[in-house]
Copies of this chain bind each other. A is one copy, B any other.
Amino acid sequence: MLAEIITIGDEILIGQIVDTNSAWMAQQLNSAGIRVKQISSVSDDKQHILTALAEAAERVDIILITGGLGPTKDDITKNTLAEYFGVGMVENEAALNNVLKIFEKYNRPMLDINRLQATVPANCEVIVNKNGTAPGMWFNVDGKIYVSMPGVPFEMMYMMEEEVIPKLKASFKLPFIVHKTILTVGEGESYLSERIADIEDALPAHIKLAYLPKLGQVRLRLSGQGYDEVALTGDINKQAQKIVERVGAFVVAEEDIQIEQAILNYMAKKGFTLSVAESCTGGYISHLFTQHAGSSKVFFGGAISYSYELKESLLDVKHETLTKYGAVSEETVTEMVEGALRNFKSDFAIAVTGIAGPDGGMPDKPVGTVWIAVACAKKTVKKKFTFGSKRQQNIERSATSALFMLNTLLKDIEK
């Protein structure tokens, strides 16, 4: 069963927002056995939306539309859908009650344009929006399902989880789609590919292998589709096993998780704790850890020591070290990581100090110079990196490198 996601709204096309909805929806659909054939972002333009709907209907069975359902004039999705299906607009009672209830709850006057939110194309089944005033709409026309949802992420997510996915499962006999991901670090895409070329060549026809590289990590993803979930999962796992045996030295996780999640899982299992001393990463490493549920079992927290003063007061970095060697130096990062271990009383610590840019570079320490240290009671490892001139990239690459170093230290200590 094939689906297409159509996002409506100029904000994506002018790059004002990143389309995170579609990735989330694609995950949900895949888990339900529905393959996403295409994602199309189109403008708030009636003719363009009509063309996109017609093209999608040629390609797929299920068309999920987000955006353009707000109360304002630039929101034209539902009138365009009515035109596409050749029907009129009607006021829907359930949708109106929902709008009334929301305005009662917040004790605000309802405007005419809010009441208009309860008006929908005559041929749709309304999906009540528990988190907002714009109703979702379900259309079943000529054997194709069209679903229109708001673009506001939490409104759309709730509708997908509670209404749309269950209704799709009830409407179609869906195959199973199984993915298995192996996260590797420390070896480039082409070398990995060379090492496992024979395994890849011998893959059965219903299983595909993809390489997904990102900043020093490569994800190997095996995907298969079939109606016998147990057999399919067995086939995929057998192939994954062959790959892991071959390139095990680079494997961080045998599931589709982020490296920090793999580290948290491993440390939780071992009963290890972690703290951080972040300068140029400015909280990003802490955020990576704490976005995951259960991180508090491992992660104590730490210091964002952006200023000299906080490096001294929170991490006991000596004032002379900062003035003599500078904030971005082996000496400073060593005192930072050791200060974190001592003051925050964790088993492991990460420290990062660098020049994220675009300003602050010096002839001997250009923008992108970063010192990273990871440590436990037994061992401290320090490394200097020279990244590029882009601030956001320097922050991300510093974080990824710090995570690699911690992962390696954890494995070394194990031995």
Given contacts A17-B212, A25-B15, A41-B39, contact A282 B293 (CB under 8 A): no
Residues of B within 8 A of A299 (CB): 282, 306
Closest to A193 in B: B72
Tell me if A171 counts as interface (CB < 8 A to partner B).
Answer: no
Residues of B within 8 A of A152 (CB): 213-214
- Contact among B189, B221, B276, B309 with A11 in the assembled complex (CB-CB below 8 Å): B221
Chain A residues 71 to 112 lying within 8 A of chain B, measured CB to CB, are: 71-74, 108, 111
C-alpha spacing A18/B19, complex, angstroms: 7
Tell me if A20 counts as interface (CB < 8 A to partner B).
Answer: yes
Residues of B within 8 A of A285 (CB): 283
Given contacts A189-B70, A287-B283, A287-B284, contact A19 B23 (CB under 8 A): yes
Q: How far is the CB of A151 from chain B (nearest CB, A)?
A: 9
A223 in contact with B282 (CB, 8 Å): no
Chain A residues 19 to 74 lying within 8 A of chain B, measured CB to CB, are: 19-20, 22-28, 30, 35-44, 48, 52, 55, 70-74
Count of chain A residues with a beta carbon within 8 Å of a chain B beta carbon: 111
Q: How far is the CB of A411 from chain B (nearest CB, A)?
A: 23
C-alpha spacing A330/B135, complex, angstroms: 37
B209 in contact with A74 (CB, 8 Å): yes
Tell me if A144 counts as interface (CB < 8 A to partner B).
Answer: no
Q: How far is the CB of A191 from chain B (nearest CB, A)?
A: 7
B55 in contact with A27 (CB, 8 Å): no
Q: How far is the CB of A376 from chain B (nearest CB, A)?
A: 18
C-alpha spacing A44/B26, complex, angstroms: 16
Residues of B within 8 A of A305 (CB): 301
Tell me if A307 counts as interface (CB < 8 A to partner B).
Answer: yes
A287 in contact with B287 (CB, 8 Å): yes
Residues of B within 8 A of A289 (CB): 282-283
Tell me if A286 counts as interface (CB < 8 A to partner B).
Answer: yes
C-alpha spacing A318/B40, complex, angstroms: 54
C-alpha spacing A28/B14, complex, angstroms: 9
Residues of B within 8 A of A39 (CB): 12-13, 19, 39-41
Tell me if A190 counts as interface (CB < 8 A to partner B).
Answer: yes
Tell me if A210 counts as interface (CB < 8 A to partner B).
Answer: yes
Given contacts A14-B223, A16-B256, A301-B307, contact A48 B55 (CB under 8 A): no
Given contacts A291-B392, A301-B310, contact A30 B48 (CB under 8 A): no
Residues of B within 8 A of A22 (CB): 12, 15, 19, 41
Residues of B within 8 A of A208 (CB): 10, 74
Q: Which residues of A contact B (CB under 8 A)?
A: 9-20, 22-28, 30, 35-44, 48, 52, 55, 70-74, 108, 111, 113-114, 133, 152, 154, 157, 179, 181, 189-191, 193-194, 200, 208-214, 219, 221, 223, 256, 275-276, 278-287, 289-291, 293-296, 299-307, 309-310, 313-314, 343-345, 356-360, 388, 390-393, 395
